[in-house]
Amino acid sequence: MKWKAEKQMIVNEKESTRIEGKKMCFAKKRRNITSQAATQTMKQRNEIKINEAGEYEWERFVTESMARTNKTQKQYLPRPICRLALPVATSIMLDIQQNGDSLIKCPAEIVTAERDKFERCITKAWYDFQRSGNLQVGDKLVFKLANPPSTLMINIIKKECLS
């Protein structure tokens, strides 16, 4: 009972896809009641910005499950990105950087789920990068889809640099 009292509970409501200025907002999945920390993570995943050059940008923080190297990982792409910028793309060039310095440039296959054509992820290339051990819990990943749909730049900002 004490645990429930310590967490502030929030319910997310369903919204529709829309573009507000240079920021794209999209429908959130119907969610159960969640903790404030989980809600913050969901909100950060739902913010996709479109810059002047027409590039899509979004951010994510590395969670414990993303930092694990003993299990095959996938990097899911946001549905609005799949719907608007990558409707038919099957491959993309990954440019992974750390604080602006390029670490890896490699081609990656975009895998589409059978149940939904807009549920897409990067599998093998992401897993190979993730296994190298460069990700730690709390690091910030800044994704930028440049020249859609040719290059996905991922900038890793280490937790130490965020403070």
H, E, C per residue of 111-140: EECCCCCCCEEECHHHHHHHHCCCCCCCCE
Among residues 34, 29, 127, which one has the least CA distance to residue 78? Answer: 29
- Mean pLDDT across 126-146: 84
Joined tokens for residue 70: 């003993």
Taking residues 69-76, what's their average pLDDT?
84
pLDDT of residue 5: 34
Residue keyed to tokens 């994510």 = 60
What CATH number labels 2-162? 2.40.330.10
Where along the chain do its domains lie? 2-162
What pLDDT, on the 0 to 100 scale, is given for residue 22?
Answer: 61
